[in-house]
Amino acid sequence: MYSEKVMDHFSNPRNVGEIENPSGVGTVGNAKCGDIMRMYLDIDEDTKIINECKFKTFGCGAAVATSSMATELVKGKTIYEALEVTNKAVMDALDGLPAVKVHCSLLAEEAIHAALWDYAEKHHIEIPGLKKPKNDIGDEEEEA
């Protein structure tokens, strides 16, 4: 059901863990629906480049794999470029996800946005195109 890349990122997830005193941290999802992702960013004050990105995830195989891939994709990007890491970009990088798991890639995108939002708020800056993240994308899906 999962691609080889998904299995690889699930079995050997990149960048698992926490960052002490992170530049930004964001948590999205909710335990009720079975997925929670937390992203930590370490951002260079001058260049605004994301030096380090770590995650912790409670969720299924796809949730872990999308978190892992998302951290890989944002590392080395500036906080402005990081917005290019959309759920589609994460899915493409993983060679696709089963339809029922697209939810997980949306959560990964949202986790990055939440961490960036936290950074922007702390530093009183604005990242063009970044909207205030939803706490849980599951809410929207249930309403839809």
Give the interface with another protein as residue ranges (CB under 8 A): 7, 10-11, 13, 16, 18, 27, 31-38, 56-64, 100-101, 138, 141-142
Neighbours of 29 (CB within 10 A): 27
Looking up tokens 């949202």 gives: 110
Residues designated as active site:
33, 104
User: Residue 34 or 47: which CB sits closer to another protein?
Assistant: 34
- 8 Å CB contact between 49 and 61: no
8-state DSSP, 3 = -
The tokens describing 41, both together, are: 């960013």
Size of the chain, expressed as the number of residues it contains: 144
Cβ 112 to another protein shortest distance, Å: 15
Round to whole Å and give the CA distance between 120 and 115: 9
Q: Smallest distance from the beta carbon of 121 to another protein, in angstroms?
A: 20
Sheet holding 35-43, edge to edge: 24-30, 35-43, 50-58
Least Å distance, CB 124 to another protein, is 27
- Residue 55 CB, nearest distance to another protein (Å)? 8
- For residue 24 the two structure tokens come to 């930004």
